[in-house]
Amino acid sequence: APDSVTATLRADQPGPQIHPDVFGQFAEHLGTGIYEGIWVGTKSKIPNDGGYRRDVLEALRAIKVPMVRWPGGCFADEYHWRDGIGPSKARPAKVNTNWGGVNDDNSFGTHEYMGLMDRLGARTYVSANVGSAPPAETAQWVEYMTAPKDSTMLAKERARNGHAEPWKVQYLGIGNELWGCGGNMRAEYAADLTNRYAQFAKSANGPMLKIASGPSDSDYAWTETLMRISGKHIDGLALHYYTRPRNKDWNDKGPALGFPEREWATTMAHTLEMEEFITKHSAIMDKYDPEKRVMLAVDEWGTWYDPAPGSNPGFLQQQNSLRDAIVAGLNLNIFAHHADRVRMAAIAQMVNVLQAMLLTDGPRMVKTPTYWVFDLYQPWQGATALPIEVKSPWYHKDEVAIPAVSASAVRDTAGQVHVALVNLDPNRTLPVTVSLAGVQAGAVTGRIVTGAAMDAHNSFEQPDTVRPQAFTGAQASGGTLTVTLPAKSVVVLDLR
């Protein structure tokens, strides 16, 4: 095997646009993902803007969060939207049966979600309750959100609750994981229900793309059935795939920190399976939808470890380290390679849950290594994908053998070309030579996310251990880019 990386960037063969919503986020009523993490209420001592944490808003705006999926997840198929409207004090408390058995006082409801989207300038993705509520409930929720000012009873009720103008619902989830927590359905039954709920949910305020509850991992039979029965009635099919380090055993996933190199290696190998899952689900979708009208929406992805020591296991709290940064870079590169079909995605989850952007503890907040990777990839939002073919040496550890380096490239909306390189080998710095076709580079600058240890992370005491640094290991001359790519790093280069 070669001990250097060679790549060819074809800027002369531009691909599809990378939809900004591929950089979307997921925020569920789960643990402190919303309550405490985003919403503290107006009476809180934590600085807030109308009840939303100011530190969190500012951090999320800085990475231009394009879209947020809410309210679940498993939570969505037990959620009744009427519990979350009207005067906050009059809203009923409910037990969150999926996540920790704690009370949810419903103080964060539709108006609060929409207020968050307004403050972030983000598109909306609302997941409807298909598992335990009738289709009329979904239809009425959509009417409540989108009916014109002063029109229907529900529009007037919305106005009485403080918002006369309609909102836009850009995406509507037709249930969540209907094969599991959404109702343990067979694919045929789920597809029939999908058609039924989709039929009666009508936005009165612009297009609303309907996303069916899709497969998990390699469940190709689910995709086949959903596309066959529902393909014409939906705009997207969701794919959920979580990276679990060990043998994909839900009860023994491994810790978020202090793991051996073997678990680093299996984490990377399992993450790379996303490529195969997307390719094979897309091939099935192509049979029913050769025009690629229906998107594959990877609306739950990321790492899932054993819960943080001492935390409520139902809260899915975990630290986030350099390993997560690499996982993020690998997945974002894979999505870029499939920009034609993957036009929306949501990492699980935005704040305090699973592979989070931000962690909070009372008034404190910390940006994770994953946050910084999303920061590096900002030029990818809305950019044109450029093909980049990579020949990489392999990384070997125990039973794992995988290519060490992954890449993606784009031409951004201002015309500038950017290249992302991810070196998942934790031990080896690799020389990279990229031949450039269709673009001249006189100079190159860049930023890197890396760290001394595989589990380098940011704590509340030391919040800046992992953060982007200026990268000086790349040179450009005419048609060639040469890079000295450090071990365990994500590098984004800007060609000039």
Interface with ligand AHR (CB under 6 A): 28, 72-74, 176-177, 300, 348-349, 354
**In this structure, what are the phi and psi dihedrals at residue 384, rounded to the nearest 5 degrees?**
-90, 125
The active-site residue, picked from 28, 78, 143, 177, is 177
Least distance to ligand AHR from the beta carbon of 314, Å?
11
Q: Which two tokens stand for residue 301?
A: 């992805």
The active-site residue, picked from 300, 389, 399, 461, is 300
* CB of 72 or CB of 109, closer to ligand AHR: 72
Q: In a 3-state reduction of DSSP, which class is residue 336?
A: helix
The dihedral sign for the CA sequence 55, 57, 61, 66: positive
* CB of 176 or CB of 392, closer to ligand AHR: 176
* CB of 175 or CB of 473, closer to ligand AHR: 175
Burial class (CB in 10 A: 0-12, 13-18, 19+), 157: middle
**In this structure, what are the phi and psi dihedrals at residue 412, rounded to the nearest 5 degrees?**
-75, 180
| Cβ–Cβ < 8 Å for 322, 454 | yes
Q: Note if 300 is an active site residue.
A: yes
Which of 77, 93, 88 lies closest to 110, judged by CA? Answer: 88
Least distance to ligand AHR from the beta carbon of 65, Å?
17
Least distance to ligand AHR from the beta carbon of 243, Å?
13
* CB of 239 or CB of 285, closer to ligand AHR: 239
Least distance to ligand AHR from the beta carbon of 358, Å?
16
| Cβ–Cβ < 8 Å for 271, 331 | yes
Q: Note if 177 is an active site residue.
A: yes
Token look-up 């060490």 returns 404
Least distance to ligand AHR from the beta carbon of 274, Å?
16
**Distance set, CA 97 to CA 32, 74, 101, 148, 303 (Å):** 15, 10, 5, 35, 23
Which residue has the closest beta carbon to ligand AHR?
73
* CB of 354 or CB of 386, closer to ligand AHR: 354
**φ/ψ bin of 364: left (φ > 0), alpha (ψ from -120 to 50), beta (otherwise):** beta
Q: Residue 488 corresponds to which amino acid?
A: K
| Cβ–Cβ < 8 Å for 54, 122 | no
How far is the C-alpha of 483 from the C-alpha of 233, rounded, in Å?
Answer: 47
* CB of 28 or CB of 104, closer to ligand AHR: 28
Strand segments, DSSP code E, in 288-399 are: 295-303, 344-348, 358-361, 364-367, 384-386, 388-391, 394-397
Least distance to ligand AHR from the beta carbon of 350, Å?
11
The catalytic residue positions are 177, 300
